[in-house]
Amino acid sequence: MTKQQNLFYSNPDLTATTTKIVAVRPHFFGVAIALEHNIVRASGGGEPRDLGTVDGMKILHAEKQDGLTWTAHDADADRFAVGKTVDVVLDAEHREHRRRLHTATHLLIRCAYNHFSEFNVAVADIEDDASSALIVARTDRPVRSEDISLVDRRMRSEVLNGRSVHAAKAKSVEHAESEYGALFRVSNRHAFRGRIRLICINGLDANPCSGLHHPTTDIGPYKVVPEHLPEADPYTFAVRLKPTGAWMYWFGEGVGT
C-alpha cells in the first residue's frame, strides 16, 4: 500500500522539499503523481491550491483521490517513476497571501457576525491568484455602508490586537459547541459528521476549517471594499478583502474602490 504524509498542516511554512514519488497514474494533463512527504495542498474550503513545480515541471492541478493528494503535470508517464526522488518547490508568496487572506476572512466574518443579529455566509472564497477574497452573506436587515465601515473598524482593531490563531480538533460539532460556547460558529452551508478541525482565534472565534492560516490576526495592511453584485438585494453583505502594501481607508460608498 502506498503511503503519503501530508505536511502542510503540521508545517505550513515548508514550501520546498525533496521527497519520493509513491504513486503515478495517467491524467488529463499528462501524468499525475503522489508524493511521500507531500507539501502540496489541493484546493478546498474556499482556498485555491498551491502553485509550484515538481522536478522543475509545473503543477497544473492538484487533487485528492483515493486517499492521496495528486499533482498533475504535462509530461509522459515515464518522466516520473515510483521511487524517484524529486524536488518540490512551491510558490511561497502565493501560499503566504492565501494564509493571510484566510485568517483575515475568519476575522471579518466574526466581526460581522457580532455586528449583525443574523449573518449567514453564502460565499467565502479566496481568488485563484490569492490577490483577494470575496465574502457574501445574508443579514437580518438591509445593509448600509456604515455597517461595512463598522465591521471594518472592529476588524482593524483585532488586526492590531494580534491574537494567536491555531488549529484544534473536536470530536464533533456538538463537542465544539459545548467547549467553545459563544466563540463557536458554524456555517449552515456545511454539514459535518464526526471529528472536525477548528481554527481558533484566541478568545474570539472557533470555526471548522480545513485551510491554511496566518498564525496571528496581525495579517498586515488590508482594505475592505464593498462588492456590488448584480443579484444582490439590500439584505446582502458583500465585500472584497484585499491585502495592501500600506494602510488605506475606506471613506464610504463609491470611494476607494
Query: Would you tell me how many other CB atoms lie within 10 Å of the CB of residue 211?
Result: 25
CB of 61 to Zn ion, least distance (A): 22
* Single residue of 209, 219, 224, 238 touching Zn ion by CB under 5 A: 209
Residue nearest to Zn ion (CB): 209
Q: List CB contacts of 28: < 8 A, sequence separation 6 or more.
A: 72
- Rounded to whole angstroms, the Cα distance separating 34 from 9 reads 17
The beta-strand segments (E) located in 85-221 are 85-90, 119-126, 133-139, 165-170, 196-201, 205-208
Of the candidate spans 49-57, 142-150, 198-206, 232-240, the one that interacts with Zn ion by CB under 5 A turns out to be 198-206
Among 27, 102, 110, 223, binds Zn ion (CB under 5 A): 102
* Window 127 to 186, contacts with Zn ion (CB under 5 A): none
We find the least distance from the C-beta atom of residue 154 to Zn ion, in angstroms, to be 19
Does the protein bind Zn ion through residue 211 (CB under 5 A)? yes
Q: Does 27 bind Zn ion (CB under 5 A)?
A: no
Lay out the sheet containing 133-139: strands in order across: 119-126, 133-139, 236-243, 222-226
Closer by beta carbon to Zn ion, 199 or else 241:
199
Shorter beta-carbon distance to Zn ion: residue 102 or 185: 102
CB 211 → Zn ion: shortest distance, Å?
4
- Give which of 26, 7, 31, 25 is closest to 88, Cα–Cα: 7
For 73, the grid coordinates are 503535470
By CB under 5 A, name the binding residues for Zn ion.
102, 199, 209, 211
